[in-house]
Every structure is written in C-alpha cells, then in structure tokens.
Structure 1
Amino acid sequence: MTQEEEKNLTQRRFYKAEQEVSFADKQIGTVQTEHPAYRLAFRDTDFLLRDELRPVRFQLELLKPEMLLEEAQIGSTLVFYGSARIPAPEKAQALVALAASDEEKQIAERLVAKSRYYEEARRLAQLASQCAVVENGMRQFVVCSGGGPSIMEAANRGAAEVGAESLGLNIVLPHEQAPNPYVTPRLSFQFHYFALRKMHFLLRARAVAVFPGGFGTLDEFLELLTLVQTGKMKPIPILLYGRDYWSRIINFEALAEEGTINRKDLDLFHWCETADEGWKVIGEFYDLDCG
C-alpha cells in the first residue's frame, strides 16, 4: 500500500481472501504447515464436508447461484418441469426399436406418444425468449429447467435456437448424469441439496410450465400448488400440460369432492396443450405486449 493509499479513508485495511491465499501458498513447508489442521478453513475440503458444516454448505448453495444470477441481470424465470424420459421426436422410434418385450414396447409407445410435448416445451421456450422482456435493467422470463434430458433439454434447446441464454439447475445423483448441451455454461449450476435446488427454481419464477413427468415432477408441481394455496407464495401462472395424462395420474375432481381441497383450488393451474396457449396465459396475466 502506498503512502497516498494509506491516507485514503475508503481504502480497505484488510487483505482480500485471494491475497491471503497467495501469502499462505508462499509459506515454507514444515511439519506444522503441512498438516491439515493448518489449512485455511475455506480451502479445507475435508473440513467443509463434515456433517457439522451442513448449515454452511446450505448457505453456500443458496448464495452462489443467487449472486451469479444477479450478476447476469436475470430478474425472473419461466420454469419448466417435466419428465427426463420422454424422447425428442427424432429419437422416438429408436426407443420403440430397443424394446425387448411386449410390456417394454407398450411403455415405449406411450412415451413416444408424449414426444409432442418435447416440441411444445421447445416452442414455449422460444416464445418466451423471443419476447425478451427487460424491466428495470433485468431480463425477465429467462428459461429455466432442471438441466437434464427430455423436457428439460427441450426448454434449453428452444432458448438456444433463438440465441437466448437459459438456466440449468442440475442435481448430483448416484448415477452418472450431466447438463444437456443447450444450457448456457455460465448459468449451469449443480446442487447437492434438493431443497436448495427447489428453492432456486421458485425464487425467481414468474411462471411455471409443468409437463408430463414422474415422481420428481409430481413433487415439484404439488409443492408449488401448496405454496400458492397456503399463501406462502403469491399466485403465478401455472401451466399444466397433458390433461389426459394428469387426469389419469391425479383425480383432481375427487380431491374437491372429498373436501380435502376447496373447489377454487382447481383454478390455481391452467390446462394447456400447446405453447401458444401457455404463452397466452402468461401474457394475459402480466399484460405483456410482445408484438
């Protein structure tokens, strides 16, 4: 620090962490400095992975994406939930060909029949990205998916095809998996905790499109409905794609008839089949004019 800098009242008096790291790296090796106990705590992976540090890891997993999304000027997102198993139309018949039994063939054919939702997710992502809403200097309705294959891939793909960035919120799983190739690299995040990933899905969400899916999609969809139903989250457009599929999986009418939900709770979501229908719901909710 120069003499002039020392007299500057706004000049920081402590070194930044990266500077301290460089000092530590220059230390002479001794029995003490080589021992794990001597490592700077924030560089000690073994220490950070201890059970007692779980609250710190929660905080880090909340903070890192939040800071990077703010720096990327992302004000809100259009979130896509859906299956990781529904094939893209161009891969549909190959799935049937791989079936080794009649049961597998029937399942493959059902998945192939739902491949049209891949195209609708892709198209919806294109519509949102092309609208390119900017408010208070922040980008709105940026496409966000779970970062994986199938419906998630379709969302990121649609955004990429019109030259727009999109988010991918991946989760570490025991089996090998990686972000789909259409996620914007600087907006591709990996989570250890499902809870923190789910929080980031909804912190910036201004609309959510739910496509046919399994346990994960059900979990995310029903939690979202619960948050809005209980008033913990303000209402947003919730687009439910695939009435035939979802009506077979969940008897929404029965819930109302049994009194376990109010009938007006069935208005928390909108049935959709096409991208245009979904984008119209969003546009009317927010009074958007995208030409």
Structure 2
Amino acid sequence: MSEPDASAEAEIRRLLDIMAALRDPATGCPWDKEQSFDTIAPYTIEEAYEVADAIAQRDFTSLPDELGDLLFQVVYHARMAEEEGLFGFADVAKCISDKMIRRHPHVFSEAAARGAAEQTAAWEVQKSAERAARRQSGTLAGVSVALPALTRAEKLTRRAARVGFDWPDAEQVLAKLDEEIQELRAELPGAEPERLKDEVGDLLFVLANLARKLDLHPEECLRHANEKFVRRFNAMERDFAAEAKSLSELALDQMEEGWQRVKAAEKGRASGTR
C-alpha cells in the first residue's frame, strides 16, 4: 500500500484541534459547547444529503466542501464521545479500517481472488457474523431505523428476499400494487386518518419493492421525480409570468394547460437531441 499522505495527516490533526477548541469548556464557542449527540445527529443526516446532492448535480467544485462538512460531523461526534470517556476519533478510524480489511480478505489476505457475486456473498456472511457479535439476530436485524423511509423499505425487502420471501418478478409486484390501490380506494369514503396512513404506507412500501425488482433505488427515483416537478413547475410559472399572469390568479384547468405545454416542449427538446 502507498505511504500515508503527510498533508492529509496534518489537516486531520488541524481539524481535530479546531473541534477541541470549539468544545473547550472555558474558551469554546457557546453554541458548540451546548450540543449533544441528539442535537447534532440531524445535521449529520443533512450533510450526507448535501454530499449526495452535489454528486447528483455533478458539482465537483463544491463536493470537497460538502465532504468536509460531513467529515466535520464525524469529528464532532468523536469529540463529544471522547469528552465522555467513550471513544475517540482514532477509535472511529480504527473501526472502519479493521472492518474493511475483515470484509475484503480477497484484497488484504492471501485468499484466492473472487468474482463480484462471490465477494458480495462473503461480504454478507461477514456482516451477519458482525450482527451476531452485536447480538442482533434475525433476517432484518441491523437495517437502520434512521434511514429515509423509502431507502429502508428497499433494504428491508432486499434482506427478506435473501431468505426467499419475495415476489418472483415485477409483474407480481404490480399486481400487489393494484390490490393496494383498491384497498386505499375502499378507505377513502370514511377517510379515517389512521386507516389512510396505513393504506398509503402499504402503497409506498410496495412501490419501493417494485423499484428494487427493477434494479432501481426508490429514493433516487423519487428524487428524480422531485427535480422534474420543480423544473416543469418553474417553467410553467415563467411562461405565465411572461404573459403578465400569476398562478394564484389562474383556474386549475388553465394551469393544467400550461403544464401540458411545458411537458410537451420538454419532450420535444429531448427527442430532438437523440
């Protein structure tokens, strides 16, 4: 393996020192001193999403900054743990290094090279052993409850599929989707919030499963749909503004007509570039 980058080590040390200064009981930042694992956790999730967004936008100029924000979250949690005598940043780095070596014997040992499928199977065996060591038993153990709901649904169904609890193909999932839609329709007249939540949840869960069966990530699918909606809605709003019209002054059928124009124009541009 290559020699460690001295500049990287120096910058990590600098970051750790900055974090220690921010949390210093006497001279640190008042806001930073008040934070806890619970209050910082939402920022950690937010920073991870901002990293993903920079990648999706291919904004590689901003990516180092976003990755730095995410790294700072790791350093923050490690510093708070060190203050409580739990662990430190070195323990965090050691844990992930040890784990990667343990899960990649085909790279870091004399084991024979494996194909991708065999490596994936070995990875899962190793993860199962690690969950057992943490006394996490059961097929679904270890799927984090903190994941975005669609992502967690995809992971839960993927885990269940490993033991054969799965539809044979996407067509079967689509049939289940039709069934769930009918169940939702049946609940609409009464409109009891808890029942509606249950049925809409079932619908979303099946959709996440359908995405998995099609080798798609449901979170990415929804993110793509969100961006498409924003793009088209903004274009529609601009078109009406050019006519000195405000959306709030228009009837729904007028907005729908504008939406369809934007949609047709977008599809026309897409077909023209092929």
TM-score scaled to structure 1, two decimals?
0.26
| Larger RCO, structure (CA 8 Å, separation 6 or more) | 1
| Greater C-alpha Rg | 2
